[in-house]
């Protein structure tokens, strides 16, 4: 299947990504892509690209076969898969997945799932804890209960979460807290988050003008005052106000409240960037510069981040 091969190769080869962006027709020919596959790339249809990647076979379960090699109590490592599928995995994260007795994961694409299952035969998803209409915090507590059950069995557990495991990732923090309270070794490994990608793709250096960052719903809930003289990052603007899990849809219920606040602070003609990092290396990031006056709810996706330049330095 040529397109899945291209997506997997591009995740590990930045030179292929360069060629894909500068000489796409050559790459299409090299991978013998058919017109439908080319159209998926041209339209940057992440959902259908991800769906085109077939599940991989699981690795033989070496972790369970070698269970007796462990010494001492269980442990917990919480790692991040990064934003761009498998390309952002650190060497630490790779080692944590490979060496674990049990792996739990919460990631967003099939390519990463395939990689996890090839690295460790005892890997389990956590998606089943989500229930439509139920608060995400309820699901997160269920995830942590499942994770901690294995730690308490004195297993060496790795949890792999999308992005940075400590950014917008409540289950990771809660699991760490509980593991340490029970006397188990627990460590969080740093990963690549959306703001890391944004800084690279927008060419921003926080050392120049500083930076402030807030989760969008929390900004409204706590009525936090923004400093309009420094750059601002707002996470999860595409689901602002939505605290419950909704399968395949988001209401973005506090959109008017959030952007009313931003228009009042910055003015209607102030430009901001709706940013979405590349899910696959073969696709470019999405950067949509738009004024607050032009902004509509459907300009935002559940995965987007908002960058607001300072008034004085726009």
- Nearest to residue 275, comparing CAs of 243, 244, 232, 313? 232
**What's the whole-number average pLDDT of the chain?**
88
pLDDT exceeding 90 applies to what percent of the chain? 62
Q: Is residue 10's pLDDT more than 90?
A: no
Looking at the annotation, which residues are catalytic? 136, 140, 162
Whole-number Å distance between alpha carbons of 177 and 141:
12
The whole-number pLDDT of residue 9 equals 86
Per-residue pLDDT reduced to its tens digit, 233-279: 999 998 887 766 555 666 778 899 999 999 999 999 999 999 999 99
Record the tokens describing residue 300, joined without a space. 């935002």
Is residue 187 within 8 A of residue 78, CB to CB? The reply is yes
**Numbered ranges of CATH 3.40.1010.10 in the chain:** 73-192
Across 23-27, 70-74, 157-161, 171-175, least confident range: 70-74
Q: Is the pLDDT of residue 190 over 70?
A: yes
In this prediction, residue 200 has a pLDDT band, given cuts at 50, 70 and 90, of very high
CA distance 246 to 242: 9
3-class SS of residue 244: strand
Confidence at residue 131, expressed as pLDDT on a 0 to 100 scale: 85
46 burial (CB, 10 Å; 0-12 / 13-18 / 19+) is buried
User: How does pLDDT run across 289-302, given as a tens digit for each residue?
Assistant: 999 999 999 899 88
The total number of residues shown for the chain amounts to: 314
Residue 64 in this model has a pLDDT that exceeds 50: no
Rounded Cα distance, 299 and 293, in Å: 12
User: CATH for 194-308?
Assistant: 3.30.950
Is the pLDDT confidence value at 68 over 70? no
Q: Where in the chain do CATH 3.30.950 domains reside? A: 194-308
- Cα 205 from Cα 273, distance rounded (Å): 16
286-291/271-276 β-pairing? antiparallel
- pLDDT tens string 110-139: 999 999 999 999 999 999 998 887 888 899
> Which residues lie across from 235 on neighbouring strands?
215, 305
Give the predicted TM-score (pTM) of the model: 0.84
Give the CATH number of domain 73-192; options: 3.40.1010.10, 3.30.70.260, 1.10.10.10, 2.40.420.20. 3.40.1010.10
Q: 81 near 160, Cβ under 8 Å?
A: yes
């Amino acid at each position: 299947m040529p397109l899945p091969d291209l997506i997997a190769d591009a995740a590990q080869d930045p030179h292929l990504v360069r060629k894909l962006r500068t000489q796409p027709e050559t790459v299409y020919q090299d991978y013998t892509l058919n017109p439908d596959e080319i159209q998926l790339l041209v339209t940057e249809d992440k959902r259908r690209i991800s769906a085109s990647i077939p599940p991989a076979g699981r690795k033989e379960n070496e972790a369970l076969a070698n269970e007796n090699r462990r010494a001492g109590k269980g442990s917990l490592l919480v790692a991040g898969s990064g934003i761009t599928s498998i390309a952002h995995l650190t060497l630490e994260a790779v080692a944590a997945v490979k060496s674990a007795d049990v792996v739990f994961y919460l990631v967003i694409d099939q390519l990463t799932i395939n990689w996890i299952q090839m690295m460790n035969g005892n890997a389990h998803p956590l998606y089943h804890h989500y229930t439509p209409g139920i608060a995400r915090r309820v699901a997160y507590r269920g995830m942590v209960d499942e994770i901690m059950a294995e730690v308490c069995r004195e297993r060496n557990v790795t949890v792999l979460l999308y992005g940075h495991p400590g950014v917008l990732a409540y289950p990771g923090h809660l699991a760490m807290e509980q593991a340490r309270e029970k006397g188990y070794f627990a460590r969080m490994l740093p990963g690549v988050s959306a703001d890391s990608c944004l800084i690279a793709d927008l060419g921003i250096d926080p050392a120049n003008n500083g930076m402030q960052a807030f989760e969008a719903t929390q900004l409204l809930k706590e009525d936090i005052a923004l400093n309009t003289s420094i750059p601002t990052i707002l996470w999860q603007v595409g689901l602002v106000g939505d605290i419950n899990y909704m399968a395949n849809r988001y209401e973005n219920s506090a959109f008017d409240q959030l952007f009313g606040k931003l228009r009042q602070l910055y003015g209607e003609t102030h430009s901001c960037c709706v940013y979405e990092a590349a899910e696959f290396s073969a696709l470019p990031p999405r950067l949509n510069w738009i004024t607050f006056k032009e902004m509509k709810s459907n300009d935002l996706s559940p995965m987007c981040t908002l960058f607001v330049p300072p008034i004085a330095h726009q």
